[in-house]
Structures are given as C-alpha cells and as structure tokens.
Amino acid sequence: MSGAAPHLGAEGATPAAKGQTTYVDAIREGLREEMARDERVFLLGEDIGVYGGAFKVTDGLIAEFGEERVIDTPISETAIVGAAVGAAMMGMRPVAEMQFIDFISCAFDMITNFAAKSRYRHGVGVPLVIRGPSGGGVHGGPFHSQNPEGYFAHTPGLKVVQPATAYDAKGLIKAAIRDDDPVLFFEHKFLYRRIKEELPAEDYVVPIGKAAVRRAGRDLTVVTYGAMVWTALEAAKTLEAEGIDVEVVDLRTLFPMDENTVLESVAKTNKAILLHEATRTGGIGAEIAAVLSERCFEYLDGPLVRVTAPDTPVPYSPPLEEAFLPNAEKVCRAARALAAY
Amino acid sequence: MSGAAPHLGAEGATPAAKGQTTYVDAIREGLREEMARDERVFLLGEDIGVYGGAFKVTDGLIAEFGEERVIDTPISETAIVGAAVGAAMMGMRPVAEMQFIDFISCAFDMITNFAAKSRYRHGVGVPLVIRGPSGGGVHGGPFHSQNPEGYFAHTPGLKVVQPATAYDAKGLIKAAIRDDDPVLFFEHKFLYRRIKEELPAEDYVVPIGKAAVRRAGRDLTVVTYGAMVWTALEAAKTLEAEGIDVEVVDLRTLFPMDENTVLESVAKTNKAILLHEATRTGGIGAEIAAVLSERCFEYLDGPLVRVTAPDTPVPYSPPLEEAFLPNAEKVCRAARALAAY
Amino acid sequence: MDLTRDQKLELYRYMRLNRVVEERLVNLYRQGKVVGGLYRSLGQEATSVGTAYALAKGDIVGPLIRNLGVVLVMGYTPRDVMTQYMARATSPSGGKDCNLHFGKPERGVISPISMLGALIPVMAGIALAGRMQKKNLVAMTWIGDGGTSTGAFHEGLNFAAVQKLPLVVVAENNGWAYSTPFRKQTAAPNLVSKAAAYGIPGEQVDGNDVLAVYGVARRAVDRARSGEGPTLIESLTYRMKGHAEHDAQAYVPKAELEEWRQRDPLERYTRVLLESATATADELAAVDRSISEEVDREVESAEKAPLPSPEAANQDVYAPRVAEGEPVVVRRRS
Amino acid sequence: MDLTRDQKLELYRYMRLNRVVEERLVNLYRQGKVVGGLYRSLGQEATSVGTAYALAKGDIVGPLIRNLGVVLVMGYTPRDVMTQYMARATSPSGGKDCNLHFGKPERGVISPISMLGALIPVMAGIALAGRMQKKNLVAMTWIGDGGTSTGAFHEGLNFAAVQKLPLVVVAENNGWAYSTPFRKQTAAPNLVSKAAAYGIPGEQVDGNDVLAVYGVARRAVDRARSGEGPTLIESLTYRMKGHAEHDAQAYVPKAELEEWRQRDPLERYTRVLLESATATADELAAVDRSISEEVDREVESAEKAPLPSPEAANQDVYAPRVAEGEPVVVRRRS
Ligand SMILES: Cc1ncc(C[n+]2csc(CCOP(=O)(O)OP(=O)(O)O)c2C)c(N)n1
Ligand SMILES: Cc1ncc(C[n+]2csc(CCOP(=O)(O)OP(=O)(O)O)c2C)c(N)n1
Ligand SMILES: [Mg+2]
Ligand SMILES: [Mg+2]
C-alpha cells in the first residue's frame, strides 16, 4: 500500500487528518497540477465550473484557471465528448466529466467509434480523458450507481483505469492526462471522502498498465480493483485469523490489463477469486478468468471463482442494494470454500 | 444440423435450389409469419419500407402489411429504439432494424438503460426486438463490420441471440418476437445469401436460451456462434482427417447463455476452444472461459484457448481484414496444439 | 374548454396537494427518512397540474422527477410518493427505483429513466402504439430547459413530428439546469423557438398561471387528439429551490429568486379564485385542511410500510419463463 | 469577397476535377477494382467546391463521403482518393478505412466516422481548440438532410452556438437520405428553419450555383472568424445518383431527376463563365484536357500502389509506448 493505510468503512466522511488527502481531493490535486504545468489541459462538463461539480471534484478550478479552461456545458454528453475528441485531435488535453458515470451511455458512440478508432484509422491520436463517479453503496438507484467499465474494456483503442487509493487517484489522473490515447477514468463515489492518505509533495504519476499487489499472501489471490480492493483487504484480515493467507491484486488499469502481475500472483497462490462490483456476465472478472485459464492453466489448483454483483440492474432500497453488492462476507465465504478445495 | 447441410464458402451468392431458403429469406419469412399471425407486430427502421432495407431483409413487407406496420423512419437510432420501447410497453411487438448493427451504438443508452431495466424497475415488460446485420468479411471497414454483441451480453435484462443457420434465423426471429423481454437479434451479413437449407412448412420456433451441438466429437469442443459456426465445422473437417475429433457447440443465444450444454460438452471432451469473430478482450469467449473455469474445472485437461479477432478496429483492406478475422486455419492451429497438450 | 367551478377547485386542490406532499417530504428528508436526494417542485406546481389536467382518461403521461403534481393528477397517492422516497416494499417500484421513477401504462404513467431526453422518443412510441391500437389517446411528457440540449429530445420530437403523433411536450423553462443558467444551455432566446426545427406549433405560456397553462395545454391536447400532431409548449417558470435538497443554490441571484417569489403560482391562483368569487376563503381553507389531514394519514401509513426483503433484489429481471410447449397467446388478425 | 478571374477559373477547375475523378472511380468500380461501395456526388459538386473554397489557409474541414470536392480543394490528390477506394497501403488511411474516411488536422481535414452527425460535435471541438490556441481558424462541416435527424447534430450545433464557436455547418438538402424522401425525414419545410432552435443565423442557397454557394459560405466564414459564432447553411441541391453505385434509385421520380438534370451545376457554371466572358470555350477546354491528363496519370499510379501487408492490421491501435521515466514533453505556460 502506498502511503499511510487509508481509513475505510465509516458511513460518513471523517475529516482528513493533517497532511492527509482524500480520494476526491487527490483527483482535484491531480487535475490542478496538470492544468498548471500544461496549458493544453482543460476541463469540460456539466456544472463543473461555477458549482465545482456534483461531487465537487473540480471545486475551485474555475477560479484558478478561468472559464475558458473550465467549461460549463449544456446537458449533452455526446457534444461534451465530441468536442473533447476534436480538441484532442488539435493537440489539446481535454478532461471531460460525466456528472454520473451512468450518463456515459449517452456518449457511447462518440467514445467507442470516434475516440477509440481514430489512431488506428489514420494515425490521429485522441488524448482525452473521460472521468466521473461510478459505483454504488450510496442508494443512488439504477442510474446513479452503475459500473460500466466492462463495456469499454471490450473496446480496442481505449484505456480504462480505476483507482482504489488516493495515491493512485492522483497518480493515475495525471498519467491519464499525459497519455497519448483516450483514457476512461472511473472514480468510485463511495471512496471520495471515505479514504485518505498522505501524498508525496513532489510530482508523480502512477503508470497506466501496471497492477499493484496490495497484500502479499500464499493461499489464494483476489484479483480486483476500485472500491472492492478495500473489501478484499477487509476479507483478507478476517481470513488471516482463520489461517487463510490472501494475496490482493489491485488491477488499477483494467484495459489493457497488466496480465503479468496477475499471472505471477496466481502462479504462486494457485487459486484465484475474481472480485468486482460490476455485474457478473461479461465483466472484467470474465476476462481475468479467460487470461488465467489460457495462460496459467497448469498452476491452477482450483476453480476460478467470481464474486460480483448479480446480473440485475442496481436496486435502490438499502436492503436490496446490500444484497446486490459484493462485500467482505461474500468474499470470505468464497475464499473458505476455495481454500478447502 | 437442422435441415439439409447448407452451402457455405463460395464468394458470391449461389441461387437457392428449389425448396431451399437462404438465411436472409428465412429472416424475412419469420417476420412475415409473425406479422400475419399477430397484428401487434410491426417494423420500424431506416429504408426498410419502400426500399426493403439495405440488405433487403424486409423486402416486400410494406406491400403486404402497409406503411403503418412497416415504418420508414428518420436517421435516428435513439428515436427508433425509443419509440419501440414505448410501443412495446403498450403491448405492441415492435421489431426495429439497425441498418448496420454498428449504428446500435447510437441507441446504446435507450437499449441498456430504458429497455433493459424497465421490467426490473417496475414490472413493465418491453417486448421489442432489435435486429440488424453484423460481422465482417465483406470489406465494410471499421463501421460496417462490427460485432457488438459482447456489450449487450454484459447488460442484465437483455437477451442476445445470433443464428448461424437459416433454420435458426427463422426460428429465432419468431421466438424473439414472441419473447416478453427485449431481444437483440444479431444477423451475420456474410451469411445472408451464402447459406440455405430446406425449412419446415409448419410454424416453428427455436427456443431462446438453448445451444445446439452442431457436430459431435470426442477430443475437444469448439464453442462458438454466428458465422464462425461454419468456420468451426470447416476446421473440424480438416482436423478429422488428422485424427482430431472436434465437437462444435453453437450457442445461438449468447445471453442468458445455455451453460449446461457447454458444460456437458466440455465435461466430455475435456478441452475447449472459444471461437468468435468479435474482438478478444471482454468478448463472449471470456465469459465462456469464466463459466468453464468455475463450473467445469475438474474436467479440464488443457488450457482454454480463445480464437478471436485481435483487439483492434475492423480494418477495411482485404489483406488486413483477412489477417483480422478468425478462420478455419487459425482454428486448426489452435486445435492441433490443444490436442497435443 | 371552459372549466367548471368544480374543476377550478380541483386545480386548486391538486396544486395544494402537490405543495403539501412536498413539504412533508422535506420533513421526512430532514428526519433522515428519505433515502437519497429530494427534488423539489416548489414554484412549478401550476405547470405540472395545469398541463396534466388537460388530459382525458386513457391518456398517458411521462413525467420527470419534479412533476409531482402530474402523478397526483394521474391518481397516484401521496403514500405512493412517500413510500417511493422512503424506498419501501409497497412503493410503486417496490424499492427498486427512487423518487418519481415509477409508473405503469395501465395507470397512465410511464416512468422516466434518469437520462434526460430519453422519455421523449419513448412517449412518441406510446403515442404511436395508441394510434395503431385506435385508442385515440394523447401522450404528454415534460422536459427541462437543460433537457432540451440532449440528442434524445431532438430525435424524439423530430420523429413524432414526421409521424404527426398525438404528443404534447412541455418544456419547463425554470431558468436553471442544476447550476447552469439558461444562457449557457442554449443560445436561443427561448425554448419555444425550437418548435420551428420540427415544423410543429410552439406555444409559450406563463407557467405560474395555472389557468393559462391549462388553456395552452388543452389546445395542444385537442390538436393532438384530432390528428394534427405534436406541440411544443414552453412554460416559463422558476426553480425556487436548489437542484436537490442538498444544493443551497448559492449560484442563484437573490433578487431573481425574490422576484419569482412574488409570482408564486399557488398564491396567485388563490387570489384569482377569491377575486373572481369562484371560492371563498373558508372554502379554500377547508380544502387545505382536508388535504393536510389526508397527507398526515398517508405519512403515517407510509412510515409503517416495510422495506423490501433482500430476495427481491434478484427478481424480475426477465419475464417468468413460459413453460415449453405452452402456446403463446396472441390476438389473431380479425 | 469578390472573386478574381483566376479564382473563378479555379472554382471551375475544382468542380471539373471533382466530376472527372468520380467518373474514373465509376470505371474502376465497374472493373471491380473499387473495394466496397462507391458514393457519388454527381450534381452536388458546386456545394462541396463553393463552400470549401470560402476557407482560408489554416481552416479545418470535416467532410462527409459525398464531399469529394472538399478534399480536393483542401489539397488531397486524385490519387489519394483512388488509392483509398482501392484499399491500398499508400492511401491516406493506409487501407485501414474506406472511401473518403481520411484526414489529419495538419492537412486541414478531419475524417468522419460513418455515424452521421458525429462530426458536428467533433468539429465544434476543433473550433474550440482553435480559439484556445489563438489560431483564428474556422471549422466547416457538412451534413445531409438525413443526418440532421441525429442527436449528435443537435447536441453539436447547440454546443457550438452556446460557445459562439467559429463553425460553419453546411446542410446539403439533396432531397433524399438513401431511399427516404425529405418529408419523411422532417416535418419542417426546410433545413434552414432548424437554425432558430440554436439562436444562430441560417441561410439558404441554391446549391447548384457555385458563385451563390461561395457567397453565402464566405459570409458565414467571415462571421465565424470575427467571433460571431456558427451559421447553418442549407444548400438546396439534388442527389443525381443512388445512395451508392449498387442502388438504382428506383424510388426516385423520373421527372424530378430530369428537372434537376437541367440544373447541373457544372453546365450552369460553364454557361456563366462563357456568357460573362470570364473565360472562352477554348480556355475551359484546355482546363478540361489538363485535368483529364492529370487524372489519367493519377489512376495509373494509383493502380500500381500496393495493398497493405497483413502485419499492419495489428498496428497503431495505441500510441507507441513512451519509455518509462522518459519525460513527457509539454509546452509550459509562458
Ligand atoms: C443525459 C443526462 N445527463 C446528465 C444528467 C444529470 N442531471 C440531472 S438533473 C440535471 C439538470 C436538469 O436541468 P433541467 O433539464 O433544466 O431540469 P430541472 O432540474 O430544471 O427541472 C442534470 C444535469 C441527467 N440526468 N441526464
Ligand atoms: C447514425 C447513422 N445511422 C444510419 C446510417 C446509415 N446511412 C448511411 S448514409 C444514409 C443516408 C444519409 O442521408 P443524408 O444524410 O441525407 O446524406 P446523403 O446520402 O443524401 O448525402 C444512412 C441512413 C449512418 N451512416 N449513420
Ligand atoms: Mg431547468
Ligand atoms: Mg440527403
């Protein structure tokens, strides 16, 4: 784990200790630093300027950089992403916000057909970033809780990242902005104000395409990303007491995936749980299973087990959403069965 | 194989022998029969009426059923699907055409958020069908050759089918229209006029959610669907001569998948190749790998091998597209290695 | 088209009901009983009530989350709304979806999804089906000034215009889309000018004058029902609260807010009723009292409603499977 | 804004070049040398040439697949176009994409994707970037009557209008969208009426009169360059061939086609040049001859161009990886 171990799990936000940076502040810091160092970087989206964004991710940036570089747009996801594509082709570095990541569906064509395929079609790179809050746990209902990263991981030409820590949130947003290809940056809204850690004072990036081993273990590997990293760590703690030693791999970049780190881990532990909050069929877990069963077959001492949300929309009412979301208990159950296998 | 073994592989269309029905005609017959038996069924899409559709799938239907039931729409995929959603909620049975399935990206929000989630959200079913030509092999370039089924198989609430034979094309379109949920019906344009077979005179449906074993074999299973079924069968023939006995499973329904048929086959052959024309990462093959490695682990005697298009857009120029598309030779190579494993 | 006295009082009743239900929701919200956000319609009651009131039995609406008055006119109860906001099992969506996201065609209401604009093509489809089914129904839906910037708005309205569908689209220009002022949403001077793009009639109305709203809506509904196609109505009104309860609307000029407070639609309509001697102050007070009591009872019963049980989370993604071989029942061509 | 004699001849030259290149493409198509479909611009040359000619160096276009004249004006060669249609390695897209799908910002051309409307927001982004980069450039793009029904058209033009971007959108009303006639595409009487929805100027022009087209486009370009924002131009023209070469356009009324044949833009302009004594018949014949020879040479060299090698299929999905630790070069704030 980079930096101090972040706090997680409290229902409300706890004020950051002196010197500690929350996940949401880390993203803002990353944006601010990149805007300061590179005048090509600009932001556009709904209510990101004057209001500072629905989750205040861009709070204060319009005051610092002006409304030419922090643009409040109409409610037009296709125009937001489309304008970002055009500007990126001109050498700019646009960062487009989706107010909730669910609305990315309204820009699906622009992202998967224009942005993703441009370099391949004629060598015209599209260095844009699309970012926004994804994920559940806050009773947002079917349209404010989705995890659509799987769609985009099935789209060649895109890069897809999702940070689990404040350190990575800052380092990955900076890397995403500097990347020469379109990067989709999925934030997890549950983490915004629930985790924090001390960040380095100096400039750093977290390279796109590199996973991190968050906890070393011998008995089985949990491959996961985003908020579920914390769920995996929580489960690992419980399981440790039971004598099951879990390794936790945080993918950080979902596409193109750091297959080597996953393979090395599972080649060592010989068993794997694939954990994500997105729905099961066709999710990132399926891809990891495919990679492992193709490239790591001889090392597998047990079935590959997915712990994911079921194949349903995200329900709104707390008891329903709780049933829907993966949690540490569900991971523990799967891990016990797998360890005993 | 249902009916007579269809002809495949010739570059041009061969005229159907007496009594034989091509894949494209089978779809049209299915539409026509359902329109005749159920006045709730109607069609809408671009150029499907007077012109009969870019691929003539709906040719002649406007003459038979009138322009109220065969509606030429503006170029508005979101409105086409949206209107179909509304009409379906009212008890109609709309069938919307995407002129090329690539344009389904322009209706992505309407499909994945409105159509897919309505029943779950308040019990309002949306019995619509969205159909259109997918797939490559005709040098259509990046926007007229895509295989986007994977996106929709990751969307709970939708059903996704893709017929490989004329028999199934007719039986599945009829089942799709009668289904009470939204069904995405992916046609493969390469098959439209290249395969044909004799079809039963009487009314029949091919049930959604049931795979078919197209060829029994002992040594390994190729799980596939759509045009690649023919590729698998072609490879199986070559491999037979080499003493490798291949079983070919045609999924027909991609989501929700007939896992049992796949599991039974692989439990018997103990090895599997996952073959599809769509790009690799996050495709249907990944899902099959996940299902097999989770539920069939003890039966696996070798790695699960994907033979798919690479993670790139679909290139246009013939040598590039040939390199891109899976073919029998690529399947044979994978099968030989796996058989020798 | 002239309203009877009873109808005029009914308009009052719905507007008051709209306001009182919402006030109770604010209480519940402050008590932490509302799950998620609360989206206010304060100051916009005349638009919801006046437009929906122009419809007839069998017509179908597609409201947005501020159109509380619409679902009340359509016959949903205060309890329906409160159980929704409290995520209860007995709410219209059974706890699956939030706030005003509910409806069934049989009840004359189609639920929106959050994605703004998406309802417009869907309501066009409702109108299309109604025509095919010879139901002579009118479909009505609402969209914010912000929502008119979406592609779905454009595609849906254009499709409806080409098909001459019986659809009425009410564009509620309340000055703001979350924190975004009208002039950053569109360079057009108003929303009604967007009708020209579709070759359909556009009408602008003072959205805080319920009788004027009703009149314009009624004309549009009549046109729709007689086969003359869609109308775009621009209702000029104002969002008196933040985007949601958590939003203190710091970005809104205080003077503008004060100006619109003077035009409160319920106060205005009360004055109209009194000045025209349509009702006495006592009569209106009696209506208010009965509403207050009704809503009290509804709150009480809503609070007792159970939360859904976890098993429901996995249910109803798909229709129950039709047993194999079982014939599918369809209406045959006559 | 007045054109010199040389400029007027240049307009003629580009229109003729447009037509001759396309005729050769038809030959190649009939010989089976074109890979995939061929999309004609016969009868629409004046619109492509007249609009693009109004631009200055540094301006950027986003043409559609019928805008052959545009890419020629922008400096792409007949060989570029022919190698594209023949899927050759040396074509602008290296065989990765088809027909007129090519371009690079450095060359002043942005490639469309097939999805109609999508270019409009992208070109708005080009204009936005140009303004941020203080390039004083104008972006111009084209859309068909059919393409105006897309959500992307609406969102893009609305965004450009709000931002007052230097964007010119040319709506080519050629009567048809594939087999769909104008009246099934929109209930508006014309396309220019759609400008009102965005609060921007709209101008309608006879699209087969190249000088008129140039004049209108030039005014729009000047407005854009001086900071007055976007213009929507409706160019009234006609699609003289089917949607693509395989389409015999059986659905087109013969009389309508004949009527428009009388208004052929190239013949009309030839008459104008002769009648105004701007050029002699001999001079124009000389231009025609030189174009014919040029295109002959280009066809010959295009036919010799190699097909791409299979390895290229897997290349250039992503930028070459920047070596780790290597500093990313950026322009610092000055
Ligand atoms: C397509 C889409 N993008 C973004 C949002 C997020 N969002 C919810 S409400 C809102 C503002 C809506 O403004 P307006 O349409 O004027 O309606 P009002 O809130 O004023 O009633 C936004 C941006 C959304 N719901 N849908
Ligand atoms: C979003 C989208 N849907 C469907 C198509 C298929 N399509 C290609 S061209 C065409 C007709 C275009 O008509 P118009 O915009 O008038 O242009 P024209 O062909 O007349 O130049 C259609 C429907 C498409 N390219 N994009
Ligand atoms: Mg508003
Ligand atoms: Mg046209």
The per-residue pLDDT for range D285-331, each reduced to its tens digit, is 999 999 999 999 999 999 999 999 999 999 999 999 755 444 443 33
Q: In whole angstroms, what is the distance from residue B332 CA to residue A205 CA?
A: 44
Residue D126 lies in a domain: yes
Q: In whole angstroms, what is the distance from residue C262 CA to residue C267 CA?
A: 9
Indicate yes or no: CB of A297 within 8 angstroms of CB of B311: no
- Tell me whether strands A70-72 and A93-97 are parallel, antiparallel or unpaired: unpaired
Phi/psi at B230 (5° precision)? -70, -35
Q: In whole angstroms, what is the distance from residue D69 CA to residue D19 CA?
A: 8
Beta bridge partners of D233: D170, D203
Question: What confidence tier does C322 reach under pLDDT thresholds 50, 70, 90?
Answer: low
Mean pLDDT of all residues belonging to chain B: 95
Average pLDDT over residues D138-165: 98
Indicate yes or no: CB of D35 within 8 angstroms of CB of B316: yes
Q: What order do you get walking across the sheet with D167-173 strand by strand?
A: D60-62, D139-144, D167-173, D231-236, D202-206
Query: Catalytic: B144?
Result: yes
Phi/psi at A200 (5° precision)? -60, 145
Dihedral sign of CA atoms C193, C195, C199, C205 in order: negative
Mean pLDDT of all residues belonging to chain D: 95
**A9: pLDDT strictly greater than 50:** no
CATH at C294: 3.40.50.970
Q: Alpha carbon of B281 to those of A151, A184, A293, B306, B332: distances in Å?
A: 10, 16, 14, 10, 21
Q: What residues have CB less than 8 Å from C111, skipping those under 6 apart?
A: B118, B121, B122, B124, C62, C93, C97, C100, C101, C102, C103
Ligand 1 lined by C144 (C-beta under 6 Å): yes
Q: How many domains does chain D have?
A: 1
Q: In whole angstroms, what is the distance from residue B135 CA to residue C143 CA?
A: 38
Indicate yes or no: CB of D114 within 8 angstroms of CB of B72: no
Catalytic positions of C are 239, 243, 251
Average pLDDT over residues C242-255: 96
Mean pLDDT of all residues belonging to chain A: 95
Nearest CA to ligand 2 atom 17: D144
Helix (H, G, I), strand (E, B) or coil at D279: coil
Question: What confidence tier does C321 reach under pLDDT thresholds 50, 70, 90?
Answer: confident
Residue D326 lies in a domain: no
The per-residue pLDDT for range B115-156, each reduced to its tens digit, is 999 999 999 999 999 999 999 999 999 999 999 999 999 999
Q: In whole angstroms, what is the distance from residue D133 CA to residue A65 CA?
A: 15
What contacts 24+ positions apart, CB below 8 Å, involve D213-216?
D213/D46, D213/D47, D213/D49, D213/D50, D213/D51, D214/D3, D214/D11, D214/D50, D214/D51, D214/D53, D214/D54, D215/D1
For residue C198, give the chain D residue with the closest CA.
Answer: D188
Nearest CA to ligand 1 atom 13: C177
The per-residue pLDDT for range A219-239, each reduced to its tens digit, is 999 999 999 999 999 999 999
B123 interfaces chain C, CB cutoff of 8 Å: yes
Ligand 2 lined by D43 (C-beta under 6 Å): no
Helices (H), B127-272: 149-153, 166-178, 228-241, 259-269
C5-30 and C281-304 helices, crossing angle to 10°: 40
For residue B141, give the chain D residue with the closest CA.
Answer: D97
Indicate yes or no: CB of B317 within 8 angstroms of CB of D101: no
Residue C31 lies in a domain: yes
Ligand 2 lined by D163 (C-beta under 6 Å): no
**A83: pLDDT strictly greater than 90:** yes
**A10: pLDDT strictly greater than 80:** no
How many pairs of residues across B and C have Cβ atoms under 8 Å apart? 162
**B8: pLDDT strictly greater than 50:** no
Cα of C190 vs centre of ligand 3, distance in Å, is 12
The per-residue pLDDT for range B265-310, each reduced to its tens digit, is 999 999 999 999 999 999 999 999 999 999 999 999 999 999 999 9
The per-residue pLDDT for range B205-222, each reduced to its tens digit, is 999 999 999 999 999 999
Residue span of the structural domain in which D199 resides: 5-314
Cα of B28 vs centre of ligand 2, distance in Å, is 23
Tokens of C235: 């209702």
Classify residue D29 as left (phi > 0), alpha (psi -120 to 50) or beta: alpha
Q: Which residues in C21-81 belong to E strands, given as ranges?
A: 60-62
Residue type present at position D82: M
Helices (H), chain B: 23-37, 61-65, 77-89, 108-109, 118-122, 149-153, 166-178, 228-241, 259-269, 284-295, 318-324, 328-340
For residue B68, give the chain C residue with the closest CA.
Answer: C132
Identify the nearest ligand to the CA of A74 by its number.
1
- State the CB neighbour count (10 A cutoff) for residue D182: 17
Peptide bond into B256 cis (omega under 30): yes
The ligand 1 atom at the shortest distance from the C-alpha of residue A47 is 23
Q: Alpha carbon of A240 to those of A215, A262, C272: distances in Å?
A: 11, 21, 73
The per-residue pLDDT for range B58-68, each reduced to its tens digit, is 999 999 999 99
Question: What confidence tier does A11 reach under pLDDT thresholds 50, 70, 90?
Answer: very low
Residue D334 lies in a domain: no
Helix (H, G, I), strand (E, B) or coil at C114: coil
DSSP-derived secondary structure letter, C260: H
pLDDT greater at residue B17 or residue A278: A278
Beta bridge partners of B136: none
Q: What local confidence, expressed as pLDDT, does residue C255 receive? A: 97
Residue C322 lies in a domain: no
The minimum CA-CA distance between A138 and chain D, rounded to whole Å, is 31
- Decide if A106 contacts B109 (C-beta within 8 A): yes
Classify residue D117 as left (phi > 0), alpha (psi -120 to 50) or beta: left
The per-residue pLDDT for range D5-61, each reduced to its tens digit, is 999 999 999 999 999 999 999 999 999 999 999 999 999 999 999 999 999 999 999
Q: What local confidence, expressed as pLDDT, does residue B339 receive? A: 97
Neighbours of chain C (3+ CB pairs under 8 A): A, B, D
Residue D229 lies in a domain: yes
Indicate yes or no: CB of A123 within 8 angstroms of CB of D129: no
The ligand 2 atom at the shortest distance from the C-alpha of residue D150 is 1
The region of weakest confidence among A137-146, A298-307, C319-328 is C319-328
A77-89 and D151-162 helices, crossing angle to 10°: 70
- Decide if D85 contacts D34 (C-beta within 8 A): yes
Q: What local confidence, expressed as pLDDT, does residue D215 receive? A: 98
Cα of D175 vs centre of ligand 4, distance in Å, is 6
The per-residue pLDDT for range C83-142, each reduced to its tens digit, is 999 999 999 999 999 999 999 999 999 999 999 999 999 999 999 999 999 999 999 999
Residue C321 lies in a domain: no
Q: What local confidence, expressed as pLDDT, does residue A14 receive? A: 47
User: For D104-127, b where at least 16 C-beta lie within 10 A, e where not — what string?
Assistant: ebebbbbbbbbbbbbbbbbbbbbb
Q: In whole angstroms, what is the distance from residue C120 CA to residue C167 CA?
A: 9
**C328: pLDDT strictly greater than 80:** no
Q: In whole angstroms, what is the distance from residue C93 CA to residue D204 CA?
A: 50
Residue with tokens 């779950």: B120
Ligand 2 lined by D150 (C-beta under 6 Å): yes
Q: Taking the mean position of all CA atoms in its chain, how far away is CA D255?
A: 28
Tokens of D127: 């204009």
Cα of D248 vs centre of ligand 2, distance in Å, is 17
**A4: pLDDT strictly greater than 70:** no
Residue B166: name the closest of B131, B204, B192 by CA: B192
The per-residue pLDDT for range A95-140, each reduced to its tens digit, is 999 999 999 999 999 999 999 999 999 999 999 999 999 999 999 9
Residue D160 lies in a domain: yes
Q: What residues have CB less than 8 Å from B337, skipping those under 6 apart?
A: B305
Q: Alpha carbon of B89 to those of C100, C125, C213: distances in Å?
A: 18, 9, 29
All residues of chain C having their beta carbon less than 8 Å from the beta carbon of residue B37 are 330, 332-333
Domains of chain B: 9-197 (3.40.50.970), 212-339 (3.40.50.920)
Helix (H, G, I), strand (E, B) or coil at C142: strand
**D166: pLDDT strictly greater than 50:** yes
